[in-house]
């Protein structure tokens, strides 16, 4: 089905060309059938808000295509990005399970396709399908690990260099090894990176420039290549 925002809406999960190895994308036929019956498929443009902090949860969002940033904001307006959700992830899961208000806000970074599942339907799927319950548990565990990484980066890193460097190493864990080094696509602005690592935008720009001058990284548009991972790790440990 044609859709705005440059996306082709895919409503049939069984034959979806974007299938991820994560969560609901690989369900067995009975669980997939019940999931298909309760999901609502929508597309969103970049910078669309799915939900905001303190909002009562109506349900959970399964991201099919695109990326969504999850942010927390202080009373004075300072924002921290806690996670960048990618295809295959459930967004707003903890609140959908507990019924507590959303702790975060969710905003699309690019055009996205999302499947929405009402809270009552999600709880029923968890009760009736052990496979779905296991995948929900895996997601909650992964969210906890991501939160621990964020706390370690914000609270235990000794310097801006360490914060930015560890962000690059984490991004490189999903990158591709090439003859020039580990290449990864970091499609985030310096402002967004600053909100992830907890330093100013100017500090992010300066730190990336310093790492380029040390010949540890190269930057071309959204693509960052770590030329010498071992040297970068040694620099951060010094």
Could you report the per-residue pLDDT of 40-63, keeping only the tens digit for each?
999 999 999 999 999 999 999 999
Question: In angstroms, rounded to a whole number, what is the distance separating the alpha carbons of residues 150 and 207?
Answer: 19
**Domain residue spans of the chain:** 13-154, 160-237
Number of H helices, E strands in the chain: 8, 12
- 56 by Cβ neighbours in 10 Å (0-12 / 13-18 / 19+) ranks as exposed
Whole-number pLDDT of residue 161: 92
What dotted CATH number matches 13-154? 2.60.120.10
Per-residue pLDDT tens over the stretch 141-157: 988 888 887 777 777 77
How big is the chain by its Cα radius of gyration, in Å?
19
List of residues 6+ apart from 8 with CB closer than 8 A: 1, 2
pTM of the predicted structure, to 2 decimals? 0.81
H-helix or E-strand containing 80?
Answer: strand 79-85
Q: Is residue 9 scored above 90 in pLDDT?
A: no
160-237 classified as CATH 1.10.10.60: no
């Amino acid at each position: 089905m044609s859709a705005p925002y440059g996306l082709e809406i895919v409503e049939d999960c069984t034959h979806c060309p974007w299938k991820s190895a994560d969560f609901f994308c690989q369900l067995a036929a009975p669980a997939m059938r019940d999931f298909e019956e309760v999901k609502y498929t929508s597309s969103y443009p970049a910078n669309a808000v799915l939900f905001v902090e303190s909002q009562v949860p109506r349900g959970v969002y399964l991201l099919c295509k695109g990326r969504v940033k999850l942010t927390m904001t202080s009373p004075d307006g300072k924002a921290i990005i806690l996670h960048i959700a990618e295809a295959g992830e459930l967004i707003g899961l903890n609140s959908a399970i507990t019924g507590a208000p959303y702790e975060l806000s969710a905003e699309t970074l690019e055009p996205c396709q999302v499947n929405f599942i009402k809270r009552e339907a999600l709880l029923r799927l968890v009760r009736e399908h052990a496979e779905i319950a296991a995948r929900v548990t895996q997601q909650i565990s992964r969210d906890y690990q991501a939160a621990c990484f964020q706390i370690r980066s914000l609270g235990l890193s000794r310097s801006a260099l360490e914060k930015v460097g560890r962000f690059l190493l984490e991004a490189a864990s999903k990158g591709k090894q090439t003859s020039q080094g580990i290449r990864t696509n970091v499609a985030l602005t310096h402002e967004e990176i600053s909100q992830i690592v907890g330093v100013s935008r100017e500090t992010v720009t300066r730190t990336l420039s310093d790492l380029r001058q040390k010949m540890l990284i190269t930057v071309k548009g959204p693509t960052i290549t770590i030329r010498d991972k071992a040297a970068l790790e040694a620099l951060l440990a010094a």
